Amino acid sequence: MKITIQHLTKRFGATTAVNDFSAEIQSGELIALLGPSGCGKSTMLNMISGILPVTEGKIFFDEEDVTDLSPEKRGIGLVFQNYALYPHMTVLENIAFPLEIKKVKRAEREAKAKEMAKLVHVDMLLDRKPKQLSGGQQQRVAIARALIKNPRVLLLDEPLSNLDARLRIEMREEIRRIQTETKVTTIFVTHDQEEAMSISDHIVLMKDGFLQQVAQPQQLYDEPVNCFVADFLGNPPINKTHGVIQNGQLVLDGGCCVTLDKAAICKEGQKVTLSMRAEAITVDENEKNAKGIIEETYVMGKEVLAYVLLGDYKVRAYIPAEKEFTKGQKVNIGLKKRGVFLFDDETGERLA
């Protein structure tokens, strides 16, 4: 089912948590709502679920306006950050609870609950109480409870934040698997870019209540629309340098001159931000985009992480392990086409 969000705004008193947010989510996709803490992504999710009323704007499920519908009437399944499994009920009762409310007959709802339990692989734990389950198992039960109503949308609030590192990877693959099997449109909230990159079809990136970009993970990484998006994605973080365009060349703070084709579209004297991914920087004799000084090298096994001084900036670059550089050595720096971005210094908008 397609979700359309139009000019959605949420204010809490004087603070605006979500600001004029518009986006379209295609049917059957797994969407990550990504952003740093406090960017309004959970608020966004709660508005889609109907737990929070919206201040302005509209939400459509397909063609139906659900803006003023209460959560139970929207046909959503919601998985809470702490799972919110009812502690006095067994796993089976927990999963069957939404059907119990709908007054589905006992035999029928238990059969359905068992089917759901099988889907999420907790069918051997049906008689346990939530307290007797591990975090990952609780998560699975919570997903089963959310899915039993055949929801139009499955919403997950920070589904992996309460799990340890190994379980996190296992569970994110499970979420992907369950989503693929049920084909339900799914939105999950996360602040972890790796989580969002690895399993989602599209990422919705937010900052301070504003939508930054909606794109496929790889596209988001390769073609960020602004400086924040480029900063937020990638590990190690992108190298960010500032400079001025002079004579068609970019002069970084500290006097380092960078030859860039992309600089041609900029105005003379314009202040810009040059962001470079570590893998986009080459340290080579032949290429001559700029000159730098090796500051430090760290051996990582298959490659070497080098800190290179470009003017006032220390940038990270990956260089092949077979090359040897000494500290203080002057080197030629090359920049690949992919992973090098120019942003306007003031607005942060992408220039090239």
Partner 1 sequence: MSTQERKKSAFSLTVMRIKAEPFLYLAPFALGILVFTLYPIINVFLMSFKENFNYITKEFSGWGLGNYQYILKDPYFIQAFKNTFFYVFIVIPISTCLSVVIATLLNQKIKFSGLFQTAYFLPMVTSTIAVGLAWKFMFNYRSGVINYLLNCFGFESLNWLQVTTYNFPALCIYGIWAILPFTIILLLSGLQNIDPMYYTAAKVDGAGPIKSFFRITIPLLMPTIFLVLIINTISTFKVFNELFPLFNGPGVSNNLFTVVYYIYYQFRVKMPSKYGYAAAAAVVLFLVIFVFTMIQRWIEKKTKD
Q: Name the site residues for partner 1 (rule: CB under 8 A).
A: 49, 51, 70-72, 76, 78, 80, 82, 84, 86-89, 97-98, 100-102, 145, 149
Q: How far is the CB of 43 from partner 1 (least distance, A)?
A: 14
Q: How far is the CB of 179 from partner 1 (least distance, A)?
A: 19
Q: How far is CA 133 from CA 87, 137, 213, 250, in A?
A: 11, 6, 38, 58
Q: Tell me whether residue 30 or residue 153 sits nearer to partner 1 (CB atom).
A: 153
Q: How far is the CB of 108 from partner 1 (least distance, A)?
A: 16
Q: Tell me whether residue 66 or residue 333 sits nearer to partner 1 (CB atom).
A: 66
Q: Tell me whether residue 100 or residue 287 sits nearer to partner 1 (CB atom).
A: 100
Q: How far is the CB of 88 from partner 1 (least distance, A)?
A: 4
Q: How far is the CB of 86 from partner 1 (least distance, A)?
A: 6
Distance CA 85, CA 94 (A): 7
Q: How far is the CB of 45 from partner 1 (least distance, A)?
A: 12
Q: Tell me whether residue 91 or residue 211 sits nearer to partner 1 (CB atom).
A: 91
Q: How far is the CB of 14 from partner 1 (least distance, A)?
A: 22
Q: How far is the CB of 80 from partner 1 (least distance, A)?
A: 6
Q: Tell me whether residue 50 or residue 209 sits nearer to partner 1 (CB atom).
A: 50
Q: Tell me whether residue 76 or residue 280 sits nearer to partner 1 (CB atom).
A: 76
- Three-class DSSP labels, the chain: CCEEEEEEEEEECCEEEEEEEEEEECCCCEEEEECCCCCCHHHHHHHHHCCCCCCEEEEEECCEECCCCCHHHHCEEEECCCCCCCCCCCHHHHHHHHHHHCCCCHHHHHHHHHHHHHHCCCCCCCCCCHHHCCHHHHHHHHHHHHHCCCCCEEEECCCCCCCCHHHHHHHHHHHHHHHHHHCCEEEEEECCHHHHHHHCCEEEEEECCEEEEEECHHHHHHCCCEHHHHHHCCCCCCEEEEEEEECCEEEECCCCEECCHHHHHCCCCCEEEEEECHHHEEECCCCCCEEEEEEEEEECCCEEEEEEEECCEEEEEEEECCCCCCCCCEEEEEECCCCEEEEECCCCEECC
Distance CA 289, CA 331 (A): 11
